[in-house]
Amino acid sequence: MDEKSVRAIQSLASRSGEAAGPATPRGTPTRPLKESSRCPICGGSGWKDASQGHERRVKRCECVLKNQEEHLKSASAIPARYAGCEFENYRTDFNAGLAAAKITLEKWAEQYPLDRTGLLLVGPSGVGKTHLSVAAMRRLIEKGIPCLFCDYRELLKRIQNSYNPSVQATELEVLKPIFETEVVLLDDLGAVKPSEWVWDTVSLILNSRYNDNRTTMITSNYLDGPSAAADGVEGARRASREETLGDRIGERMRSRLFEMCRLVQLDGRDYRLRFRTALAR
């Protein structure tokens, strides 16, 4: 597309009420494009002709949407281990419960943001809670929705490190993206031994996101249930009892979770163990 056509389309875009700019999302670092690398459809303007009859119109070029998706993928901090997680490669192994969980998350991602209720995925290790959650995140990113992957243990370590005077990042700087990103995945909730500080930190994160009406996805290896104290379990029975989500995050936060999230329970064999067993055969 020649420069004259590009300028004409940008002029139309400006008159349509939306700023005409380069084919990159706002906040993305831009570099001057070489002539050969410019989009052949829009010429680097970010707009393409969408005229109908005698009425001249423009609309955003596909290259803008592609650049935005790449920017959001980078900002999502999805670990390399999970970068390839999609609904299409999630194995249910004919487990009806896992298949139902997959359908639930696919439908949720498709309907978002019509329904901003979060999701709480619970189940034993290795059944694919993180896989499904990341797959849902990727679908949202394709729709232009900012998402952030946050490992629960790593987050607590980063907050603790921020108290060290030699560390540049402050607690607020660590937590700011957690507070402000539209959709956050908090992976492996309850993995750290509970303490008053841990409970206070979880409370701060969940309450802030709840009050700002932001969507939170959560995974946990601990099945939902009340804490031992709330259940009246003491002595030897308490020592032999399997810990629940209530034990790991406290009853107050467990209650808040169910105001924020819809429970999705996964049950099946550890996929990683099955994979290692298959290799050994």
The C-alpha atoms of residue 170 and residue 168 are separated, in whole angstroms, by 7
Q: Are residue 55 and residue 165 in the same domain, yes or no?
A: no
Same domain, 100 and 183: yes
Supply the range of the domain harboring residue 35: 3-67
Q: Does 76 or 275 have the greater pLDDT score?
A: 76
- Torsion on CA atoms 151, 153, 156, 161, rounded to nearest 10: -100
Decide the pairing of beta strands 58-60 and 47-49: antiparallel
* CATH code, domain carrying 127: 3.40.50.300
Query: Residues 35-47: what's their mean pLDDT?
Result: 75
Structure tokens at 39: 């989009």
pLDDT of 2? 56
Distance between CA atoms of residues 8 and 53, nearest Å:
17
Q: How far apart are CA 269 and CA 97, in angstroms?
A: 12
| Mean of pLDDT over the chain | 83
Q: Which residue has the tokens 């797959």?
A: 135
Return the axis-axis angle of helices 196-211 and 152-161, rounded to nearest 10°. 110
Instruction: Give me the pLDDT at residue 37, please.
Output: 65
Q: How many domains does the chain have?
A: 2
- Beta strands across the sheet bearing 147-151: 147-151, 183-187, 215-220, 118-122, 261-265
pTM: 0.75
Last residue of a domain, one of 23, 38, 67: 67
- pLDDT, tens digit (0-9, with 9 covering 90-100), for 203-242: 999 999 999 999 999 999 999 998 888 887 777 777 778 8
Q: Could you tell me what percent of the chain has a pLDDT over 70?
A: 82
- Residue 183 is predicted with a pLDDT of 98
Assign 57 to helix, strand or coil.
coil
